[in-house]
Structure 1
């Protein structure tokens, strides 16, 4: 066996049907695990390409250039201190003999042992070369390591054919192939011994067949087994057939992300895909299309077709079958027969629900528990209503519309349709509200309440929706936090991080729509919103510390969100002040611009120094007394502050944070001179207090936009 014997290597594990949503990841992890281990053992030649394969019934990987044996490896084994390993006459002590045997070096010539010092004593070191690992041994290690590390969603236990050996794996395995070009590599896995026998499609290929050479794997499976073994190739084949059929029928697959995820899923369900077209009775189109789409995609794995012009659902759908046949009539008819009862159920639920007005369903919310420590859904609705009215009134919106939207927001939880399709909460409520004659603003609020974030400026028609969106998330954060269920580590069962991100986006889009001004703190502030949410739970139910923790939690989310886009120190400088939420991004941009000024570093360092000095002050510094200035540098700094303060105030009043910060650059000379010429902590207590008062005034001027001491290096 030679290290120059370089040939392709194919490994395939044949199993029962693997979990479709995990298949792609399993295939990639299987190949990567093998690659990493083989590479670590020196078995992969340079420029070795790795091709992962995955179908519903197999995981495989093809390596283009693999050595039959790894090259010789040099080694250096640090054994033990020389005085312990060698006797006075230079012979090996029993301890050294035992060590050498354990290292497989029992026959080594003691004269070849090197002596190396670690600075304290000499050690015996064995150096030499050892044969590289053989492929059979290296592949066995790689196979064991790769299978052990697979990201298996749920492990199964099953018995082997011997009747007593239990194996743990994602699904029962029935075949193992390992070929180094044409030679079988004698490895084992999951009770299986490697061979060259392949199995094809469950129905289209009824016989097993042998793989002659590793490089023929994909082609042989396609020709003999009716299996497209590469996941991406199979996916591209399905997508092309879907587009062809959709175009033939004058339809579209739609553009929502669910199309891509469904395409991934069906790719993991078939080995020899063929797309057929089916249809259902057009009367079902009277049902909200989201219900029909969901049942076809989620339950049947069909691709609904839409009208390209209007985007509305049509009565046709596409089926990705695992069978190719000249006469697909039975396949198409069978699928149409299966989907029809599901659509009929949706029709029945819709027609039955429509007999009861949405508003009259609220009484049933009293028997639906929101949380055993926070009461029923009806109690929650009342809290959200109060909060929505407050937010709408504060922003100058329509409090009656906001109240109505909040009143109806959870009414669809008791409908048959939501009971069958819980993913459509809000969407179904919007349909029923439309049928009940509710205003467009209320309908929009119901439809959009479960969005993850607001991503467009809030206009007047969308204010009610934005208010409900804010109210729900504020009530959730304060309520869940108050019962000790704050997120910890990876755990966030109530989605509080997502709720916080939603609130951040709402304030951003309210500002973008002109409801909140950069020059103003309000009219709606985060603190007021959270306080009002707490009031909804009753006096004394929510501890003041909860509101502080929730506010800090939200600002931490803002910090994390902006830190990926802006200088971290600039973000920290702004967040340290916890300014109005809708101003944070603008302030950060202003600080980033300030950082580019040549005066920034000096002023930031001075600001940090001032902060440290003020911590030593006894009590709060008052206003400085100009008559107590002793040094010219004091008077110069006071004059600079007097000049710059109104300029900065005017910039802040206009919402121009960048200009407010740039005015500070004019103070650098006076600040530098002050610290060069003036002893702040003078012996005279009155002089010292007056200088601290002047610095406190300068400190307030410098930190109106951000705590610029956070910018100091």
Structure 2
């Protein structure tokens, strides 16, 4: 049994670029896992994954040519079935025959277990898999389980009179298979291909084709030297980054390529040996908003626009070419010629759009369906306006500006530019608002009302923007919940989870004075009289409130708060979400007190008693009905502690409010040790329940402390 390094390569036609990294990693991991499962590879072996537009490959260190034999014990049947008076039954003889043994093998069988569970076992040695067997299985399993975005069906050349008789399914047609153990070919097959030791280099610049691989360890070197290919995905990615920085430095004046990891990964998946070239376009196109130019260069041409040191777009851009001619002028001129019509289109759209004001586009929104149950975009705008005005008034913001921004926020959806580039909605709205001479606060709000678009995104920059952004998200949430269009599992077509998190962030960071319940009421009111189903929205609003608190709970747990702490605070559904962090910190401090667990347990007990009460319990106590010393002591302690806790709560000092409760431990313990709450006298029982209600309210202002009980 010997070990050598193993190379496996599948050579194919151009793979989908956005899936290449994932395919390369899955191919490598699949082969490794398959070999490990069959005992041909030790855990922790060095693995190198390769992926280019035309190949998936993996190099694995120290792969055995044969797995070790291993002893196995096979259960045959119960003793009562296999032996009768010590003589093998026909059933046992038949079982042994199926294993290639005769009745003489009965003496080799072992008996294990007792009574009815006693069974016959056959001990044998299972031969370890050969590398050919193991790699064949690993290769088949890996190809079957690859995360292929879309499968192609193609025909094989079979060599018979009618080529293409057989068909194969894979992400792209495969044309070569390499399997080298050291310098020896491992005879395996896949996708109609037989393994060998030859591959192909760069489509245009390879020095030799095909390339005969001399050893598994020389794969990357031979591809680089003879095939003009950088096979390692991350090495090629780094080469692109280095060349982009070098090209930007050569341009000078602090120029930097636009940073876009997704674009970088996609371009890396389109080339086998990158060559970065500097191109330019006519400066007159810089009159168009740079977001438009950047987007068209990135999305349509896969170019890297160059930004000046001040962040402004320059008229130069970088191209990652897959060829490296001695004279690159033809390649540069070709790319400049290709980008020019794209930029001209963007300029045309911008010029045409500015001929009409945003306000003049409002009638068009009445023709755009938002949702078949919620009406048109025009109707939606009116709802957002109503919500935005109420929020602006609550924030002390200019309600007229909030109303105007909400009215015009969606008008850029019917412009030519946004029709071509939907990603620019909001951005173009701001440019056109400035062109119309609208106030900066309104223009900013038009752009910002989509924010935050994703986790970590910036929030609206001004209060008017906050009002409109909150209104827009709340209208979506209330409307979708109102018609029962809720997210399920991983499906959330209207991004309701993201909208809820956006509302939470703005209420915490930008509008701490606003109460969630009041906002939902305002949003609900905007639908009344406009949607037939609006009368059913009340229950939906309650469900929406729970949905938002669930998103908040998840966010808080991600920030490091325990589930118990979060549960205790959010059980009360505090209306001002900006207070939640302070409440959590107060709960965390309270939980460290020696009295905390006893008080939490008592609080839970109080809650259970009050739930079982026959009627609604009022938080009131008649001092003359207090009989036991323990209940008098508890009442006296509450008279002293409750005002302290309430005062601290009112000034927002939640930590001190909870700490004040520590003085209640002894009287609470004594009460439950000596006082019978469910007294036979109805008046006495009602008074003691009222005392417990007072205790519960005093203890649960900051958080539901019963949730802290272990």
TM beyond 0.5: yes
Change (3 A) 1:250 1:300: same
- Please point out which of 631, 634, 637 is paired with 1:634: 631
The answer to whether residue 559 in structure 2 is matched with residue 559 in structure 1 is no
C-alpha deviations, 1:207-265, integer Å up to 9, x for none?
21211111110000111111100000000011000000001102667587x52211111
C-alpha deviations, 1:484-523, integer Å up to 9, x for none?
2101111111111111111111101124xxx51xxxx749
Q: Counterpart in 1 of 2:650?
A: 653
The answer to whether residue 237 in structure 2 is matched with residue 235 in structure 1 is yes
The answer to whether residue 147 in structure 2 is matched with residue 151 in structure 1 is yes
Q: Counterpart in 2 of 1:244?
A: 246
Shift of 1:454: 9.1
Supply the distance in 1 between the matched residues of 2:257 and 2:39 (Cα, whole angstroms): 46
The answer to whether residue 556 in structure 2 is matched with residue 548 in structure 1 is no
1:109-148 counterparts in 2 under 5 A? 109-117=105-113, 120-148=116-144
Shift of 1:118: 6.3
Supply the distance in 1 between the matched residues of 2:151 and 2:104 (Cα, whole angstroms): 47
Shift of 1:125: 1.5
3-state SS in 2 of match to 1:243: helix
Change (3 A) 1:458 1:327: closer
Supply the distance in 2 between the matched residues of 1:454 and 1:111 (Cα, whole angstroms): 70
The answer to whether residue 27 in structure 2 is matched with residue 30 in structure 1 is yes
8 Å Cα contact 1:534/1:542 also seen in 2: no
Shift of 1:161: 1.2
3-state SS in 2 of match to 1:229: coil
Shift of 1:344: 0.4
1:292-331 counterparts in 2 under 5 A? 292-308=293-309, 310-331=310-331
Q: Counterpart in 2 of 1:347?
A: 347
C-alpha deviations, 1:303-322, integer Å up to 9, x for none?
000011x1000000000000
Change (3 A) 1:601 1:106: farther
Q: Counterpart in 2 of 1:9?
A: 6
Tell me which moved more, 531-540 or 615-624: 531-540
TM-align CA RMSD:
2.0
1:533-682 counterparts in 2 under 5 A? 533-535=526-528, 537-538=530-531, 541-543=534-536, 544-564=538-558, 565-580=560-575, 581-622=577-618, 623-682=620-679
Supply the distance in 1 between the matched residues of 2:13 and 2:180 (Cα, whole angstroms): 22
Shift of 1:687: 1.7
Change (3 A) 1:118 1:175: farther
8 Å Cα contact 1:394/1:524 also seen in 2: no
8 Å Cα contact 2:474/2:520 also seen in 1: no
Supply the distance in 1 between the matched residues of 2:134 and 2:578 (Cα, whole angstroms): 59
Supply the distance in 1 between the matched residues of 2:467 and 2:535 (Cα, whole angstroms): 22
8 Å Cα contact 2:205/2:228 also seen in 1: yes
Supply the distance in 2 between the matched residues of 1:77 and 1:348 (Cα, whole angstroms): 78
C-alpha deviations, 1:127-156, integer Å up to 9, x for none?
232221111000011001111111111111
Supply the distance in 2 between the matched residues of 1:125 and 1:330 (Cα, whole angstroms): 77
C-alpha deviations, 1:579-634, integer Å up to 9, x for none?
11332222222212211111111111001100111112121223111111111110
The answer to whether residue 695 in structure 2 is matched with residue 707 in structure 1 is no
Structure 2 residue runs without a partner (length 5+): 159-163
Shift of 1:421: 0.7
Q: Counterpart in 2 of 1:49?
A: 46
Tell me which moved more, 226-235 or 644-653: 644-653
Q: Counterpart in 1 of 2:161?
A: none
3-state SS in 2 of match to 1:367: coil
Shift of 1:481: 1.8
Supply the distance in 2 between the matched residues of 1:449 and 1:548 (Cα, whole angstroms): 25
Change (3 A) 1:133 1:252: farther
3-state SS in 1 of match to 2:627: coil
Q: Counterpart in 1 of 2:201?
A: 200
Supply the distance in 2 between the matched residues of 1:332 and 1:119 (Cα, whole angstroms): 86
8 Å Cα contact 1:17/1:56 also seen in 2: yes
Q: Counterpart in 2 of 1:169?
A: 170
Change (3 A) 1:527 1:663: farther
Supply the distance in 2 between the matched residues of 1:362 and 1:255 (Cα, whole angstroms): 38
Change (3 A) 1:191 1:457: closer
8 Å Cα contact 1:362/1:378 also seen in 2: yes
Supply the distance in 1 between the matched residues of 2:325 and 2:516 (Cα, whole angstroms): 67
Supply the distance in 1 between the matched residues of 2:546 and 2:364 (Cα, whole angstroms): 36
- Please point out which of 77, 83, 86 is paired with 1:80: 77
Tell me which moved more, 674-683 or 290-299: 674-683
Q: Counterpart in 2 of 1:691?
A: 688
Shift of 1:662: 1.2
3-state SS in 1 of match to 2:418: helix
Change (3 A) 1:675 1:346: same
Supply the distance in 2 between the matched residues of 1:217 and 1:73 (Cα, whole angstroms): 34
Change (3 A) 1:366 1:104: farther
Q: Counterpart in 2 of 1:225?
A: 227
Supply the distance in 2 between the matched residues of 1:127 and 1:442 (Cα, whole angstroms): 83
C-alpha deviations, 1:317-372, integer Å up to 9, x for none?
00000001110001000000000000000001101111111111111111111111
Supply the distance in 1 between the matched residues of 2:45 and 2:188 (Cα, whole angstroms): 21
8 Å Cα contact 2:7/2:60 also seen in 1: yes
1:481-500 counterparts in 2 under 5 A? 481-500=481-500
8 Å Cα contact 1:9/1:178 also seen in 2: yes
8 Å Cα contact 2:77/2:119 also seen in 1: yes
Change (3 A) 1:407 1:499: same
3-state SS in 1 of match to 2:209: coil
8 Å Cα contact 2:10/2:176 also seen in 1: yes
Supply the distance in 1 between the matched residues of 2:138 and 2:17 (Cα, whole angstroms): 25
Shift of 1:121: 2.0
Change (3 A) 1:455 1:51: closer
Tell me which moved more, 529-538 or 113-122: 529-538
8 Å Cα contact 1:530/1:547 also seen in 2: no
Supply the distance in 2 between the matched residues of 1:456 and 1:13 (Cα, whole angstroms): 41
Supply the distance in 2 between the matched residues of 1:595 and 1:171 (Cα, whole angstroms): 60
8 Å Cα contact 2:36/2:43 also seen in 1: no
With normalisation by structure 1, the TM-score equals 0.95
8 Å Cα contact 2:387/2:523 also seen in 1: no
Supply the distance in 1 between the matched residues of 2:203 and 2:479 (Cα, whole angstroms): 54
8 Å Cα contact 1:453/1:505 also seen in 2: no
1:509-548 counterparts in 2 under 5 A? 509-511=509-511, 516=513, 522=515, 525-535=518-528, 537-538=530-531, 541-543=534-536, 544-548=538-542
Change (3 A) 1:443 1:586: same
1:109-508 counterparts in 2 under 5 A? 109-117=105-113, 120-162=116-158, 163-205=164-206, 207-250=209-252, 259-308=260-309, 310-451=310-451, 452=453, 462-508=462-508
3-state SS in 1 of match to 2:74: strand
8 Å Cα contact 2:478/2:541 also seen in 1: yes
C-alpha deviations, 1:258-307, integer Å up to 9, x for none?
52211111110000110000000000000000000001111111100001
Shift of 1:102: 5.0
Change (3 A) 1:542 1:268: farther
3-state SS in 1 of match to 2:447: helix
3-state SS in 2 of match to 1:129: strand
